[in-house]
Amino acid sequence: MAVNEERNVLAEIEDLMNQKQYSALRSKAEAMNEADIAAIMEDMEDENMLKLFRIFPKDMASDVFAMLEPDSQQYIITKLSEKEAGIIIDNLQSDDAVDLLEEMPANVVKKILENARPDTRKDINHLLQYPDDSAGSVMTVEFIDLKEDMSVEEAIQRVRKLGVDSETINTCYVLDAKRKLIGAVALRTLLLKKADDRIGAIMHGSVISCRTHDDEELVAQMFQKYDFNAMPVVDAENRMVGIITVDDVIDIIQKETTEDIEKMAAIIPTDKPYLKTNIFETWKKRIPWLLLLMISATFTGSIITSYENALSKVVILTAYIPMLMDTGGNAGSQSTTEVVRGISLNEIGRKDYMRVIWKEMGVGLLCGVTLAATNFFKCIWFDHTTIAVAAVVCLTLICTVFFSKLVGSTLTIGLAKIGVDPAVVASPVLTTIIDALSLIIYFTIATQILGV
């Protein structure tokens, strides 16, 4: 739904609410997509959002609830009676229910679970036992399982029976008597085969799966590699315990991307949205790296101080320091960003590390020469410096850009090799290293050419 259309619908809904035309309001909501309704509710006042939510049919209420932001979910669930809240939890997919309950106070969670069905409590408690960021913590236990000795007709009857409560019915999983995963069959295949065909004869015996304790980022990479819409999750004994669907993977990718962006900006990652963290929490996220970077930047000042005599003799050298430091930092950040992304997407493997370093060295040399040639004419024609000073600046540019790209790629790869997230070296950390390196190169070349 377009933004303008969404505003018009919001105005229409609020007008119906003000006129207390609840029957028309319910009919209007039932004709809309649940995602559009959730988006409109996010723009409403809390009281109106709750009023609208209360008029939804039970099944529709759960679908809309699952698409709301966590804060809106918490507001609604705490305003409902314990019985109403239990009904909502019963009708949510188990993974969505766990996500909600993990954000709520323990006393509220206890009351809600007391009013939920026993099978719902069992599923939620089962998911809560897995580590954060693992496949088990994001899977859902609602899926369709079949036996290999079933006929196609029996399988379709089971799909009809369990499909309403399942996360997806596009793929059914074949389990043996010990619930071990032995195959999978698509719903399309079931519909196209004869009614008396056996599942064991039409299923795919080779099924890609993940384990409950696999990292969720690895799961996202598997979805990308195999182009899945859903993937089975098995335990250590290959017994199937749940599935992960593509909507869960989208959430994982968004979470991991946000985490990498925060690390590259020298911010300690957090699960909370920006507007949901108070000033003190935001300060705690940012200050550790700022303190570290401030202290490390004092080395840059020490380098400049040690070459104070040279700067006093050729003052024009001072004017080029910011440009050289910024260019080096930017060049290093380019390399780091691309290599970090390549490693994250599995485009760069261990066997490719030396190729990456050689490539960045070549790119660094070409970029450095190009920048130096451009800057040489600027120094001579616009800055009116001597050829010697122009040579110092341009040679420094070549060396700085070359070594910045070399350091950026090497440091990133080195951290990846020892199992440290390479995103932490990007931008601020790398820039601090490059600043010191560019100054050392600059003053070393200046002393050799200018004799200062």
Provide the residue ranges of all domains of the chain, joining segments of one domain with +.
3-131, 145-249, 274-450
Is the pLDDT at 406 greater than 90? The verdict is yes
User: In terms of DSSP H, where are the helices of 206-352?
Assistant: 216-226, 246-264, 279-306, 308-313, 316-319, 321-344
Record the pTM. 0.62
> Shortest CA distance to 324 belongs to which of 402, 263, 406, 416?
402
| CATH number listed for the domain at residues 145-249 | 3.10.580.10
**pLDDT category, 428, cuts 50, 70, 90?**
low
**Fold match between domain 3-131 and domain 274-450:** no
Mean pLDDT of all residues in 266-277: 67
Between residues 200 and 9, which one has the greater pLDDT? 200
**pLDDT category, 264, cuts 50, 70, 90?**
low
Q: Name the least confident of 86-90, 213-217, 259-263, 401-405.
A: 259-263
Q: Beta strands 230-234 and 210-211: pairing type? A: parallel
What proportions of the chain, in percent to the nearest 5, are helix, strand and coil? 70, 10, 25
**Would you state the pLDDT for residue 77?**
83
d(CA 40, CA 259): 28
Classified by CATH at the fold level, domain 274-450 comes out as Tetracycline Repressor; domain 2 (1.10.357)
Is the pLDDT at 110 greater than 80? The verdict is no
CB atoms near residue 315 (< 10 Å): 8
**Would you state the pLDDT for residue 275?**
66
Mean pLDDT of all residues in 250-263: 78
SS (H, E, C) 67-107: CCCHHHHHHHHHHCCHHHHHHHHHHCCHHHHHHHHHCCCHH
Q: 167 burial class (0-12, 13-18, 19+ CB within 10 angstroms)?
A: buried
Tell me the CATH class for 3-131: mainly alpha
**pLDDT category, 231, cuts 50, 70, 90?**
very high
Do 268 and 288 touch, CB atoms closer than 8 A? yes
d(CA 325, CA 268): 26
**Would you state the pLDDT for residue 133?**
84
Do 260 and 343 touch, CB atoms closer than 8 A? no
Residues in the chain: 452
Is the pLDDT at 81 greater than 90? The verdict is no
CA 247 vs CA 64, 108, 250, 318: distances in Å: 15, 27, 5, 54
Lookup: tokens for 105? 């106070």
* Residue-wise pLDDT tens digits, 327-356: 998 898 888 888 888 887 778 888 888 999
Q: In a 3-state reduction of DSSP, which class is residue 322?
A: helix
Of these ranges, 207-216, 259-268, 294-303, the one predicted with the greatest mean pLDDT is 207-216
d(CA 15, CA 7): 12
**pLDDT category, 265, cuts 50, 70, 90?**
low
Q: Bridge partners of 234?
A: 211, 240
Is the pLDDT at 4 greater than 80? The verdict is no
Is the pLDDT at 374 greater than 90? The verdict is yes
Mean pLDDT of all residues in 67-96: 81
